C-alpha cells in the first residue's frame, strides 16, 4: 500500500486536479465577468474593471458635474437658468417667424419636421436657443447647422426660439400613442446602474429649462443623439446630465427608448 498522501502537492494527481479546477473557475469568471458584458452591446465598458462591475451589478462610476478645470473646454457657452429667455414679446415672435422661413425645408413650415430632423414647434424656447448657440460656437458640432446659424445674432436666435415655442406641436396621425407600453427606463430608470427615469426630465409637463420634449421626434434622430452622448460624440450638456444618464445603456435599450418616444 502506497504511503503517499492523497491531499498533498506531492501527489501529482491531486496537483493536476486542483490546477484543472482553478483553470475552469478562472475561465468561467472571465466569460461571465468580462467576455459576456463586453460583447453584450456594452461599448461603454472601456476597462476590465468596468466590465467586472457591470457583471456584478454594481452601478457604473458616476462622473461629477463640476465645471472643467483650467485649460479645458467648457461643454457649452450658455448659462442655463429659468429666466434666461425673459418674457416673449410679439415683435420677437414676428421676427422669429420671418427668420424661420429659411428653416422650413428641414424643420417644416410649422416647426414639425418632414425630414427626420427635430420638431421645433412647442419646444421650450430656452432649449432651442441653447442649441442654436452651441451650434454657432461649435460646442455641438454639426457640418449642416453651424454654417446656417453663424450669421444669426444672439437676438435672432432668441427670436427664433420664442417663435417656435409659440407654435402648437402637430401630431403624427399615422402613429398611435403607446401609454400602456412605457419602458421601465422611462418610468423608473435603473437605480442599480445609476440611471434616472427619463420622464423625470423629459416629460412634456416637467418644464425644465433647456430640456427638449422628445415625444414625436424622429426615431433615427433620437437613436443617434443618445448614442452620441454615450460615445462622447456629443458633450454640450454642461453638467453631464445626459452623458451620465446614458453611459450604461446598451444599443438595444437606446433603440427601445428611441422607438418609444418616436411613437408618442
Condensed to tens digits (0 to 9), the pLDDT of residues 53-82 reads 666 666 555 566 556 666 677 788 888 888
What pLDDT, on the 0 to 100 scale, is given for residue 14? 84
What pLDDT, on the 0 to 100 scale, is given for residue 175? 45
What pLDDT, on the 0 to 100 scale, is given for residue 134? 95
What pLDDT, on the 0 to 100 scale, is given for residue 79? 82
Spell out the long-range contacts of 238-243 with Cβ–Cβ below 8 A and sequence spacing 24 or more.
Answer: 238/67, 238/74, 238/75, 238/76, 238/78, 238/80, 239/65, 240/63, 240/64, 240/65, 240/75, 241/65, 241/201, 243/63
Longest dimension (CA), the chain: 106
- 195 beta partners: 190
Letter string b/e over residues 79-108, b meaning 16 or more CB atoms within 10 A of that residue's CB: ebeeeebeebeeebbebbeeebeebeebbb
Q: Which segments of the chain have a pLDDT < 50?
A: 41-43, 173-178
What pLDDT, on the 0 to 100 scale, is given for residue 232? 87
What pLDDT, on the 0 to 100 scale, is given for residue 204? 67
- Specify the pTM: 0.72
Amino acid at each position: 500500500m502506497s504511503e503517499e498522501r492523497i491531499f498533498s502537492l506531492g501527489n501529482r494527481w491531486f496537483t493536476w486536479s486542483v490546477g484543472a479546477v482553478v483553470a475552469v473557475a478562472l475561465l468561467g469568471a472571465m466569460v461571465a465577468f468580462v467576455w459576456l458584458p463586453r460583447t453584450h452591446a456594452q461599448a461603454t465598458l472601456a476597462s476590465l474593471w468596468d466590465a467586472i462591475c457591470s457583471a456584478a451589478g454594481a452601478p457604473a462610476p458616476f462622473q461629477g458635474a463640476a465645471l472643467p478645470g483650467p485649460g479645458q473646454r467648457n461643454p457649452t457657452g450658455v448659462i442655463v437658468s429659468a429666466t434666461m429667455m425673459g418674457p416673449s414679446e410679439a415683435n420677437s415672435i414676428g421676427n422669429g417667424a420671418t427668420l424661420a422661413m429659411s428653416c422650413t425645408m428641414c424643420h417644416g413650415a410649422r416647426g414639425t419636421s418632414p425630414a427626420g430632423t427635430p420638431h421645433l414647434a412647442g419646444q421650450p424656447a430656452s432649449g432651442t436657443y441653447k442649441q442654436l448657440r452651441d451650434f454657432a460656437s461649435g460646442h455641438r458640432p454639426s457640418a449642416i447647422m453651424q454654417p446656417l446659424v453663424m450669421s444669426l445674432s444672439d437676438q435672432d436666435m432668441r427670436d427664433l426660439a420664442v417663435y417656435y415655442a409659440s407654435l402648437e406641436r402637430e401630431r403624427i396621425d399615422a402613429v398611435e400613442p403607446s401609454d400602456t407600453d412605457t419602458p421601465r427606463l422611462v418610468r423608473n430608470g435603473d437605480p442599480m446602474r445609476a440611471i434616472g427615469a427619463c420622464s423625470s426630465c423629459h416629460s412634456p409637463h416637467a418644464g425644465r429649462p433647456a430640456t427638449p420634449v422628445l415625444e414625436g421626434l424622429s426615431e433615427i434622430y433620437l437613436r443617434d443623439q443618445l448614442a452620441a452622448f454615450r460615445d462622447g460624440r456629443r458633450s454640450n450638456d454642461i453638467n453631464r446630465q445626459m452623458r451620465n444618464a446614458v453611459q450604461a445603456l446598451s444599443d438595444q435599450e437606446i433603440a427601445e427608448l428611441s422607438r418609444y418616444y418616436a411613437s408618442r
